[in-house]
Structure 1
């Protein structure tokens, strides 16, 4: 049951990232076309581009953590014994865990800040400017997904070490 939820979250994150990339490409194309061909600029496209970019960064970072593509310095791993290499991996996982914890802490603060700040670019079809929570929530959502995927990786690492000891 839990693995199906994780697979579903991963699928949603993958699809969302692809949609954001497509939307970013389309808005960039429309922006260039309207600006240089029709000499007309659409300011709302900047809002959409920023939205796509920031959400792609944080959801993509979470997917990178899931696939273990995050930062790992392995310059010495070829020269270390298996035992020392195992400790090196544990230290990297622990440091990554603390880094993600800091991101979550900052993500909560950013989310609260986004509730009180308003969009600066005028959006013509809205009666009042929206809060920036739709930007800043990406920080928190991406960080929480990073934590979830990292905890799963730690569980897999510890499970693998327990199997190796038996």
Structure 2
């Protein structure tokens, strides 16, 4: 299972890098078009939030896998080794719970995206709104991976 998660991690990393490049290119083109040529392309105004949201949600899952997500670890340095292991499990359970809340609450966005269209392009918003559900599922998968790694490895420092 870890090898599959490792492959998923590498694929997500490449997807985030590609989305970042596309986002930067679209932003550059949009700024040049708007301030030099005084035009705006609606398609680019759809691609920008698309890339941004997918990049953020997939990047959040990557951060969870690598233990780089937000965590207050001020007290952890003063805990004995056994308590550090418990702390890591509690932290992964809280990330797991947060991912579940995001997944559950994003279902209504996905349903809305099925009927709502971008006003300028007519493209269904499901392509953007689905990032919340897919990203939160990836966060759940990565949190589960970290949770089982934290239970199995006594000195897993991330």
User: Is TM > 0.5 for Structure 1 vs Structure 2?
Assistant: yes
* Structure whose CA Rg is larger: 1
Q: How does 1:1-166 map to 2 (within 5 A)?
A: 2-120=1-119, 122-123=120-121, 129-161=122-154
Decide whether the 8 Å contact of 2:85 with 2:151 is kept in 1: no
In structure 1, the gaps of 5 or more residues are: 124-128
1:14 and 1:93 map into 2 onto residues whose CA distance is: 21
Q: How big is each residue's C-alpha offset from its partner over 1:74-106, in whole Å with a ceiling of 9 and x where there is no partner?
A: 111222222333322222122111111101111
Q: Hey, which bits of structure 1, 4+ residues long, moved more than 4 A?
A: none
Shift of 1:145: 0.8
Q: How big is each residue's C-alpha offset from its partner over 1:123-162, in whole Å with a ceiling of 9 and x where there is no partner?
A: 2xxxxx222100111001111111111111111111114x
Q: Which moved more, 1:33-42 or 1:45-54?
A: 33-42
| Corresponding residue SS for 2:39 | coil
In structure 2, the gaps of 5 or more residues are: none
Q: Which moved more, 1:131-140 or 1:85-94?
A: 85-94
Q: Which moved more, 1:37-46 or 1:51-60?
A: 37-46
Decide whether the 8 Å contact of 2:88 with 2:150 is kept in 1: no
- TM-score by length of structure 2 reads 0.90
